[in-house]
């Protein structure tokens, strides 16, 4: 997934960024709402982590504007305001989840995964695909009963296919799932990761449409 983090606390922001990157996800971090607007205008995000109190305004207003223009990108609110009225307001204007600071970073990872699964239409973290049994929450895979270890990048790429079964994903789309906008991407990165996934999960796990992209293979 590619995640936009809107948080002006530099210590917390760095911790969240490192947690998300450690989970194998791509994260772009901004500290102001105007920068967040520019980021969303220039890239497609799978999820937004939104602080409510920012130097140039309140996150609630940003979320309201987002939903008013029909943007359904999942949003998890992060705030130090532990008031029921604030949580209700955030959920009523379109937030998908809510975390009160301070929170455990592992819980944040779990909430991100839960919200993402709901948006793909399958809230069940257990998925079967041919000889593969996949636990999306635990980030574990068994092939014919034997565990398969994936790197963080391999997992992020495979998850992109799992959440869009049958959909053709271009090389550019896949690169955006793996890397933030300030990261350098080698030209053969996707090809290398796809090749490794085929070796670990089976040669038919990912199909290639030459010149167009890749899709999840049939079970």
User: How many domains are contained in the chain?
Assistant: 2
Query: What is the CB neighbour count within 10 angstroms for residue 68?
Result: 10
54 shares its domain with 99:
yes
| Distance from the Cα of residue 174 to its chain's centroid | 12
136 shares its domain with 171:
yes
110 shares its domain with 145:
no
The answer to whether residues 197 and 205 touch, using CB atoms and an 8 Å cutoff, is: yes
Distance CA 23, CA 106 (A): 10
Q: Tell me, what's the pLDDT at 85?
A: 74
69 shares its domain with 96:
yes
User: Tokens 């205008």, residue?
Assistant: 41
Q: Tell me, what's the pLDDT at 198?
A: 96
132 shares its domain with 112:
no
The answer to whether residues 49 and 99 touch, using CB atoms and an 8 Å cutoff, is: no
User: Tokens 């890239």, residue?
Assistant: 43
Q: Which of 94, 119, 144 is the last residue of a domain?
A: 119
Token pair in block for residue 189: 């990165």
60 shares its domain with 156:
no
Q: Which of 85, 104, 119 is the last residue of a domain?
A: 119
User: Mean pLDDT in runs of 10 for the chain (219 residues)?
Assistant: 94 95 89 96 92 92 93 91 76 90 93 84 76 86 93 87 87 79 71 94 94 91
The model carries a pTM of 0.74
Query: What is the CB neighbour count within 10 angstroms for residue 114?
Result: 16
Q: Tell me, what's the pLDDT at 55?
A: 95
27 shares its domain with 114:
yes
6-15: b or e for each residue (b if 16 or more CB lie within 10 Å)? bbeeeebbee
| Domain CATH number, residue 172 | 1.10.10.10
179 shares its domain with 76:
no
Q: Which of 90, 119, 148 is the last residue of a domain?
A: 119
172 shares its domain with 64:
no
99 shares its domain with 196:
no
The answer to whether residues 201 and 141 touch, using CB atoms and an 8 Å cutoff, is: yes
Distance CA 76, CA 199 (A): 36
- Host domain of residue 157: 126-216
Write out the E strands in 14-96.
26-30, 47-51, 53-54, 57-58, 75-79
Q: Tell me, what's the pLDDT at 186?
A: 74
164 shares its domain with 190:
yes
Residues 131, 136, 141, 147: what is their CA dihedral angle, to the nearest 10 degrees?
Answer: -140
């Amino acid at each position: 997934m590619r995640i936009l983090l809107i948080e002006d606390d530099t210590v917390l922001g760095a911790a969240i960024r490192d947690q998300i990157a450690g989970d194998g996800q791509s994260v772009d971090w901004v500290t102001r709402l105007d920068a967040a607007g520019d980021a969303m205008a220039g890239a497609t995000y799978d999820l937004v982590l939104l602080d409510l109190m920012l130097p140039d305004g309140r996150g609630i207003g940003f979320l309201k504007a987002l939903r008013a223009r029909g943007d359904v990108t999942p949003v998890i609110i992060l705030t130090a305001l532990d008031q029921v009225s604030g949580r209700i307001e955030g959920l009523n204007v379109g937030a998908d989840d809510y975390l009160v600071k301070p929170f455990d970073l592992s819980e944040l990872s779990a909430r991100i995964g839960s919200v993402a699964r709901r948006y793909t239409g399958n809230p069940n973290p257990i998925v079967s695909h041919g000889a593969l049994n996949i636990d999306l929450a635990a980030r574990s895979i068994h092939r014919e009963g034997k565990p398969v270890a994936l790197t963080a990048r391999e997992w992020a790429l495979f998850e992109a296919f799992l959440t869009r079964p049958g959909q053709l994903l271009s090389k550019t789309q896949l690169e955006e799932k793996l890397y933030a906008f300030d990261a350098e991407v080698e030209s053969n990165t996707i090809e290398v990761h796809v090749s490794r996934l085929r070796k670990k999960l089976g040669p038919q796990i990912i199909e290639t449409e030459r010149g167009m992209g890749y899709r999840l293979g049939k079970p």
